[in-house]
Amino acid sequence: MSTNVHRLYFHYSEYPPSMRVLFTGALLVLGIAYMFAMVQTYISHAARDGSPGLSVQDLIIAYSGSKEDSRLESALKGPMIDMVDPADAARITLWIHDGASREGYDETVQPILENNCASCHDGSNPHLPNLTDYNVVQDLVAVDTGVSIYTLVRVSHIHLFGITFIFFIMGFIFTHALIKPIWLKCLVTGIPFLAIILDIGSWYLTKIHPGFAWVVYIGGICMAFSFAFMWITSMYQMWFMRAPEDLVRNAD
Ligand code: HEC
């Protein structure tokens, strides 16, 4: 292996101990922080689809919603199907899909519920939802559309700033490692930045097409791999590797 390197390159072992302690401290805390970030990602997204572990399906549900019917629709298609004329059931479904507005409720939905459902669902039976109460109906038509755009925007800017700091510090420390070929070193250093852009962009795109959940998934894995690679190589080379003789510069 040739040790010809750029004249600005210094291996960890050429740095004074204080600098290596600084690097090590930063790596330790960043490593712990990354663990917490992964645990947090796991507990907030895993098993949303009902099966254990964090899958692409979980991400689709998190970002674009479950796509399941609202409870009112399920009831109209299921146990309550015989309680109402199919044309009226279709009107209610249409109203839900059009955004369940207050006007639509007053005009179309309320009379249908009054005539067909209120005999049982008037609040007199505490086990049945009171369909004469607008707020109750609202809760029954809530559809899960995933994380709101507002939340995504908030989380995006925090992540973009945060991840840049993390991978800048990490990558800066890693530049002192001796890795050949050079393209591999550049790739590992650069990939997290590309990955975070694709990852965050795909949070939004998953709302439009669920296939983008794969980009979120793969982006996260790329970042984690880069992080682990840089962390382990840096720590190892910092304390257990001496730079090859022909590389070490003559100290004045
Ligand atoms: C004859 C009485 C009766 C009528 C009329 C009736 N329901 Fe029900 N409904 C029930 C009973 C009993 C249950 C609870 C048992 C069940 O879930 O099957 C229920 C449950 C429901 C639920 C709750 C399902 C859930 O997610 O927990 C909804 C929603 C519902 N009905 C909607 C309607 C609508 C809309 C109408 C009118 C088109 C209607 N019901 C008419 C008796 C009635």
From first to last of the 252 residues of the chain, give the pLDDT tens digit. Answer: 456 778 888 899 889 999 999 999 999 999 999 999 999 988 888 777 777 788 888 888 888 877 777 889 888 988 899 999 999 999 999 998 888 899 999 999 999 999 999 999 999 999 999 999 999 999 898 877 788 889 999 999 999 999 999 999 999 999 999 998 999 999 999 999 999 999 999 999 988 888 999 999 999 999 999 999 999 999 999 999 888 877 776 554
Alpha carbon 86 to chain centroid, angstroms: 40
For residue 63, how far is its CA from the centre of ligand 1 (angstroms)?
Answer: 31
Mutate to test the pocket of ligand 1, among 68, 72, 120, 138 (most ligand atoms within 8 A of CB): 120
Radius of gyration of the chain (CA): 28
Mutate to test the pocket of ligand 1, among 93, 116, 121, 134 (most ligand atoms within 8 A of CB): 121
For residue 232, how far is its CA from the centre of ligand 1 (angstroms)?
Answer: 59
Whole-angstrom distance, CA of residue 216 vs CA of residue 163 = 15
In this predicted structure, what is the pLDDT of residue 9? 86
For residue 79, how far is its CA from the centre of ligand 1 (angstroms)?
Answer: 7
* Residues sharing a CB contact under 8 Å with residue 45, sequence separation 6 or more, in sequence order: 54, 58, 59, 62
Give residues (CB < 6 A) around ligand 1: 71-72, 75-76, 79-80, 83-84, 113, 116-117, 119-121, 128-129, 131, 140
Q: Which atom of ligand 1 is nearest to the CA of 118?
A: 5
In this predicted structure, what is the pLDDT of residue 252? 42
The residue nearest atom 11 of ligand 1, judged by CA position, is 128
Whole-angstrom distance, CA of residue 58 vs CA of residue 52 = 10
The residue nearest atom 6 of ligand 1, judged by CA position, is 117
Phi and psi at 107, nearest 5°, equal -75, -55
The total of other beta-carbon atoms located within 10 Å of residue 10's CB is 17
